[in-house]
Amino acid sequence: MEPAAATMLSGRRALPILLAVFALLAAAVTVSARGGAERAPTLVFILAGQSNMGGRGGATSGNRWDGVVPPECAPSPRTLRLSPSLRWEEAREPLHAGVDAGNVVGVGPGMPFAHALLRSPACPRGAVVGLVPCAQGGTPIANWSRGTEMYERMVARARVAGAGTGRVAALLWFQGEADTMRREDALAYAGRMEAFVRDVRRDLALPNLLVIQVLGSRRRSGRGISRGSGWTW
């Protein structure tokens, strides 16, 4: 077969075939360029904090994720995630795979947030959400002060995410339980959170960056106290 094809290409019929091949290639390039543009996020959200944000849904027993993806966590062509290697890809659970290192990750709040946003009448038409998972299980806020590994990783990822077509719309922060064990950590939390918000806004050069925080209280033995209240900075 190969010699025949080569002979054919070297013959007089080669030109039309080559032209056809070029036309196909050109079409493919156009499609992928357009596809790429469609798949660039327009609204970028940084997801940070500890396991509540990293996601443990379906991953709290047996040391593995059960693989169940509820409808509110289903993938959508309009929701991308920044991969650990800093590439945009279609977002899939577990969203924090490869980011929340050393932990068994499951479903979390990122995908339902994106779905709710895209469903909202206030959402710009044609918006594509870019999620930037940065959370790490078990980290107290001291692990997120300026200069720490977590902080610098988050800022580096947020910079890449905001460098393209998308604008960083908000930082979603779901953390706090690691700081409820010791009284001094709890008392220092507000000041550390304020410093965190101030530093992130400065380092990203986004002085008005919206920070949406979920405050969770520690689950006490016997009674399940797991309240969350939203704060916006």
Ligand X SMILES: *[C@@H]1O[C@H](CO)[C@@H](O)[C@H](O)[C@H]1NC(C)=O
**Interface with ligand X includes 150 (CB under 6 A)?**
yes
Q: Which of 127, 24, 28 is nearest to 76 (CA)?
A: 127
Region of 86 on the Ramachandran plot (φ > 0 left; ψ -120 to 50 alpha; else beta): left
In the complex with ligand X, the residue whose CB is nearer, 136 or 213, is 136
Tokens 């690691």, located at residue: 178
Shortest reach from residue 139's CB to ligand X, in Å: 5
CB 115, CB 72: distance < 8 Å: yes
In the complex with ligand X, the residue whose CB is nearer, 42 or 143, is 143
Shortest reach from residue 72's CB to ligand X, in Å: 29
CB 170, CB 209: distance < 8 Å: yes
Q: Which residue among 50, 136, 175, 213 contacts ligand X (CB under 6 A)? A: 136
In the complex with ligand X, the residue whose CB is nearer, 149 or 194, is 149
Q: How many residues bind ligand X (CB under 6 A)?
A: 5
Closest-approach residue to ligand X (CB): 143
All residues at 6 or more sequence positions from 145 whose CB lies less than 8 Å from its CB, including other chains: 151, 192, 195, 196, 199
Q: Which residue among 72, 149, 152, 194 contacts ligand X (CB under 6 A)? A: 149
**Interface with ligand X includes 89 (CB under 6 A)?**
no
Q: Which residue among 42, 76, 143, 180 contacts ligand X (CB under 6 A)? A: 143
**Interface with ligand X includes 139 (CB under 6 A)?**
yes
Q: What is the dihedral of CA 105, 109, 54, 38, to 10 degrees?
A: 90
In the complex with ligand X, the residue whose CB is nearer, 139 or 213, is 139
**Interface with ligand X includes 105 (CB under 6 A)?**
no
- Determine the Cα angle at 212 with ends 127 and 122, to 5°: 35
Shortest reach from residue 193's CB to ligand X, in Å: 16
Q: Which of 90, 7, 108 is nearest to 54 (CA)?
A: 108
Binding site for ligand X (CB under 6 A): 136, 139, 143, 149-150
